[in-house]
Amino acid sequence: MKILVIADHDNGALKPETSKVVNAASKIGTDISVLVAGHNVGSIVEAAASIAGVSNVLVADNAVYETQLAENISELVLSIAEGYTHILASASTTGKNMLPRVAALLDKSQISEIIAVVDENTFKRPIYAGNAIATVQSNESVKLLTVRASAFDLQGTQAPAATSVVGTVVDNATTQFVSIEQTESERPELTAAPVVISGGRGMQNGENFKLLEGIADKLGAAIGASRAAVDAGFVPNDMQVGQTGKIVAPNLYIAVGISGAIQHLAGMKDSKVIVAINKDPDAPIFQVADYGLVADLFDVLPELEKAL
């Protein structure tokens, strides 16, 4: 078994998801290579080589990979795919964008968002917004898998593994990068934070999300939101937790003014401890909450901030 993990990074730093994908890969086999494709990625390569269990880092350092367009990366992966039995990427927007393109170029079926490795051919994944867990067996000679990072642990570190340069440079004729508009945040990344506090429609407006900030600062938490809060324009959409947003599994998840629709639960119900603050005692969120507080969030939030 030869496994290729495609590193997830924003061309500035390696994302912790990569370490978790290597953790998933280590449950399949031991010969693990990591591909880092980007531009001026020296420190990212170093970080990838230091993940425990990585035997080799392949580096494709070229301006055409800087924005990681799927058209370029998929051709690059195709050019080096020979010999690998498994190709893994994180189920981030980058991985989801690129890996199915690779799969089709290789004429292989892909398995998305695995949460467990049963054996080298068999994997578990959630379907129907996490209301069912499917065990699926791939009969393909090359298994393409995206990995739900929140379901796997961070790997340890090691003395850096060897690196080698991949020569292929592929630029496409169809798609050009125009611009990126990044959401500024000094808080931990939503998908990696140990504590997440999320607001929903009950927050009433974007201004009131400030009530969550003091609590988030005290807990070292990331701030999330339900789709209702995003659609109402309270906060930007990359804060959305749920089936179609981000999937998180922190130690502590605090849901404030969130009713708990199926689609939201799909994104957070694997959290270790869930706290719900809602004034409606019948809100479905209380069915999954370990601790529920039936109260008006505008009374409770300042009190909570003070109590921490």
Partner 1 sequence: MKVLVPIKRVIDYNVKARVKSDNSDVDLSNVKMAINPFCEIAVEEAVRLKEAGTATEVVVVSIGDKACQEQLRTALALGADRAIQIETDQKLESLHVAKLLAKLVEQESPELVILGKQTIDADNNQTGQMLAALTKRGQATFASKVVIENGKAVVTREVDGGLQTVAVNLPAIVTTDLRLNEPRYASLPNIMKAKRKPLDVVAADSLGVDLSPRVTLVRVEEPAKRQGGIVVESVSELVEKLKNEAKVIS
Rg of the chain's alpha carbons, rounded to an integer?
20
Q: Tell me, what DSSP letter sits at residue 14?
A: B
**Rounded to the nearest whole angstrom, what is the least distance from the CB of residue 50 to partner 1 in the complex?**
23
Are 62 and 166 in contact by the 8 Å Cβ rule? The answer is no
**Closest CB to partner 1 among 136 and 154?**
136
Query: Residue ranges for the binding site for FAD?
Result: 201, 226-227, 240-244, 257-264, 278
Characterize the bridge pairing of strands 122-127 and 195-199. unpaired
Which residue type sits at 223?
A: I
**Rounded to the nearest whole angstrom, what is the least distance from the CB of residue 205 to partner 1 in the complex?**
18
Q: Tell me, what DSSP letter sits at residue 21?
A: H
**Closest CB to partner 1 among 31 and 96?**
96
**Closest CB to partner 1 among 23 and 271?**
271
- CB contact set of 162 (below 8 Å; sequence gap of 6+): 49, 55, 56, 57
- In whole angstroms, give the CA distance from residue 49 to residue 77: 19
**Rounded to the nearest whole angstrom, what is the least distance from the CB of residue 133 to partner 1 in the complex?**
5
**Rounded to the nearest whole angstrom, what is the least distance from the CB of residue 118 to partner 1 in the complex?**
8
**Rounded to the nearest whole angstrom, what is the least distance from the CB of residue 3 to partner 1 in the complex?**
19
**Closest CB to partner 1 among 10 and 46?**
10
**Closest CB to partner 1 among 33 and 278?**
278
Orientation angle between helical segments 297-307 and 210-219, nearest 10 degrees: 30
- In whole angstroms, give the CA distance from residue 288 to residue 191: 20
Query: Residue ranges for the binding site?
Result: 201, 226-227, 240-244, 257-264, 278
